[in-house]
Structure 1
Amino acid sequence: MDYYYSAHSAFAYLGSRRLYEVCKQHLVTLIHKPIILSPVVEAQGSLPFRDRTQAHVDYFFGREIERWAEYRDVPVISYRPTHHDADYSLASGMIAALGFSGPDVDVFAHAILEAHWRDDANLSDRATLMRIAQQCGQDGDVLAEQGAGAEAQAIVAANSEDALGLSVFGSPTYVVDGDPFYGQDRLELVERAVQCPFEPTQWANPPVS
């Protein structure tokens, strides 16, 4: 399963633990694909949050996140993260530097998301990211250096290009054997797909009468 997400994504965080549970239960290899979200979203015609209506922002950062946090039993802060619009390319690079899959990247990716949405962490602050890495059993200084490096940043850029090619329009997007599912509220369908792949009808191209 390919897992496209941004390091500051609310819904990636809300679904993170459940996603790992699904993969573990069904012996699915999860491939992390951290992306830079804004260019991907904007390429599909969606507005960045800075350009959306206040009503939409209030709904997203208020009721919707609160409801899902309660449902998933996930702790969240009660306001829009202070540094939500900061540069999270280093955080994304550090995730990429740990590899595409495995327990180390699973733990660190979740910790990054959790720090932002539970602790109001600044994901553009190197010292903060190093501390999170240390708490996950990594060498924070080394991982930060690798995350800022050309190789890790190239992986994030390539992931973002892949997302564009797949018409990904939000975070998280889970791709099960080529079949995309957008949003952590689709995790029940994701779990079904790993057991019984969905065969879509061609309703998008009806026959000409």
Structure 2
Amino acid sequence: MSRNVEYFFTTASPWAYLGHAAFMEIAQRHRLDVQFRPMPVRRVFDATGGLPLPQRHPARQRYRLVELQRWRERRGLPLNPQPKHSPFDASIADRIVIALAGQGANPDAFMRRVFAGTWAEERDLGARELLGALLAETGHEPEASMRAAESEAVAALYDANREAAVAMDVFGAPSYVLDGEVFWGQDRLDLLDEALTSGREAFRAG
């Protein structure tokens, strides 16, 4: 029987980019049922005490830049730690992922193109025209997908993902939730893989 992992992220996150391919490999190997749950991460920060990047202490900002370079090397992925189009409004790209998943389509290829576009190709992923082109490039119907992404129903699901994230103790992106146990950050993927391999019961805070 396949196991379920809830995948909380935003397409604007460099950490989600760094971990995405590795997570999808784990999902395929363990035959996981992945629930793609993009979320408005700034609102999750607001609810859980996190700070947006510009408000963090300079020491934390500098350390983040070093970590991005470390993990760029570890994952073997091209990444500009300070791309010219970041930050950008990721809500449209995030909602496209919700729309695709809701249509029964696999959003993986589209997500990879969005991640790479921002962090490796210096492209503005807040632009509707570019998102439409990436939808077409990855085998999706751009107009229908964009209409669905901009619908009230998908907007409600986007907000519901925020509520679910906070309820599950998710406070950052990416987070992977297995049987209620949160694995925060792409640097926890080895621990997720080990939990899946062992079949152990989920750890709890209390």
Q: TM-score, normalised to structure 2's length?
A: 0.90
1:54 to 40, 54, 58: 58
Deviation at 1:85, TM superposition (A): 2.6
Does 2:66 align with 1:63? yes
How many pairs were matched up?
Answer: 202
* Structure 2 segments unaligned to the other structure (5+ residues): none
Tell me what 2:79 maps to.
Answer: 76
* Structure 1 segments unaligned to the other structure (5+ residues): none
In structure 2, C-alpha distance between the alignment counterparts of 1:97 and 1:201, rounded to whole Å: 32
Q: State the one-letter code of the partner of 1:10.
A: P
Deviation at 1:103, TM superposition (A): 6.4
Tell me what 1:22 maps to.
Answer: 26
Deviation at 1:195, TM superposition (A): 2.1
1:125 to 124, 127, 150: 127
Tell me what 1:195 maps to.
Answer: 197
Identity in percent: 30
Give the secondary-structure state (helix, strand or coil) at the position aligned to 2:89. Answer: coil
- The verdict on how the C-alpha distance between 1:175 and 1:200 changes in structure 2, with shifts beyond 3 A counting, is closer
Tell me what 1:175 maps to.
Answer: 177
Q: TM-score, normalised to structure 1's length?
A: 0.89
Deviation at 1:41, TM superposition (A): 1.6
In structure 2, C-alpha distance between the alignment counterparts of 1:82 and 1:127, rounded to whole Å: 18
Q: Which moved more, 1:168-177 or 1:98-107?
A: 98-107
Is the 8 Å Cα contact of residues 33 and 100 (structure 1) preserved in structure 2? no
Tell me what 2:167 maps to.
Answer: 165
Whichever of the two has the greater Rg, that structure is 1
Paired residues for 1:115-154 under 5 Å:
115-154=117-156
In structure 2, C-alpha distance between the alignment counterparts of 1:200 and 1:19, rounded to whole Å: 19
Tell me what 2:16 maps to.
Answer: 12
Deviation at 1:199, TM superposition (A): 4.4
Tell me what 1:155 maps to.
Answer: 157
Q: State the one-letter code of the partner of 1:154.
A: A
In structure 2, C-alpha distance between the alignment counterparts of 1:59 and 1:101, rounded to whole Å: 40
Q: State the one-letter code of the partner of 1:180.
A: V
Deviation at 1:196, TM superposition (A): 2.2
In structure 2, C-alpha distance between the alignment counterparts of 1:52 and 1:98, rounded to whole Å: 34
Deviation at 1:201, TM superposition (A): 7.1
Is the 8 Å Cα contact of residues 41 and 168 (structure 1) preserved in structure 2? no
Deviation digits for residues 174-209 of structure 1, max 9, x if unmatched? Answer: 00111110000010110111122444777x66xxxx
Is the 8 Å Cα contact of residues 181 and 203 (structure 2) preserved in structure 1? no
In structure 2, C-alpha distance between the alignment counterparts of 1:155 and 1:138, rounded to whole Å: 20
Q: Report runs of 4+ in structure 1 exceeding 6 Å deviation.
A: none
Deviation digits for residues 88-140 of structure 1, max 9, x if unmatched? Answer: 11111111000169762111122212211111222221011111111111122
- The verdict on how the C-alpha distance between 1:172 and 1:101 changes in structure 2, with shifts beyond 3 A counting, is farther
Does 2:113 align with 1:92? no
> CA-atom RMSD, angstroms?
1.9
